[in-house]
Amino acid sequence: MAIFSRLFGSAKRFEQAVSDYPVFAAPHQGEGYLLLPAQRRENLASFLDLLPSRIQLLQLTMLELGVELPPPEAASAGSDVSRKLHDFTRSTLSKVRGIEALCARGWRTRTRAGRDGRVFSFVHDIGIYCGTCATNDPPGFAWAIDDTRYSESSRMDSAGNVVIFKRIPFEPRAIRRFHDVIGWAVYSVFDEARVAGGKTIGKVNSFKFLDDHLEGGHG
């Protein structure tokens, strides 16, 4: 019984902490590249309007669960933010009922309500937090829509979605770099859920992508 309590007690506390967690909902659901340009702009405007409250909500809920996240502007390459997120994901999120399916590829196309909507919104807000950490100067990214004209064969997960963006000076013309950092956070939780289920081998730090951004590894 003691082993059972250690394994699942953290997941139970998590369920209690998110029992009234507000669901994140973009004005227009689905993959961005399938939306109209005006719909993508509305999604970005809504996202930017909600961003401060979603970060505060995540920080308060994490604090309730015993994890103190600094404000995004205080995150740096030398901080332990990625390690905190990794440890929390491994010890708690990976054991939450159904989280692997909630975070599986194609998550933008699925509709969730009630408990599943609250759980996924929490994970989504981790991605919002990570992306906002990268908007410091440096590394100097900003939130944007990836409006690259991809072909069907070359299309990235970032296509038409709210991502972080940076224009990198380069000759003969600047490089536009987009990163689906919310997707990376969601997939990190997915991977750790698979580790917990014995389906794959775990990474040393599943949130290392955040360190890579903060260290300037993406431009």
Local confidence pLDDT in tens for the 219 residues of the chain = 344 444 458 889 999 999 999 999 999 999 999 999 999 999 999 999 999 999 999 999 999 999 999 999 999 877 899 999 999 999 999 999 999 999 999 999 999 999 999 999 999 999 999 999 999 888 899 999 999 999 999 999 999 999 999 988 776 766 788 999 999 999 999 999 999 999 999 899 999 999 999 987 765
Q: Give the per-residue pLDDT at 122.
A: 98
Residue in the structure block whose two tokens are 């997915």: 190
Report pLDDT for 11: 87
Query: pLDDT value at position 170?
Result: 72
Of 16, 19, 36, 18, the residue nearest 27 (C-alpha): 36
**Amino acid identity, residue 64?**
E
pLDDT of residue 4: 42
Beta bridge mates, 144: 163
Confidence at residue 6, expressed as pLDDT on a 0 to 100 scale = 45
Rg (CA), the chain: 17
- Residue 171: the pLDDT is 64
Count of alpha carbons within 13 angstroms of residue 106, beta-carbon side: 4
Residue with tokens 């030398």: 78
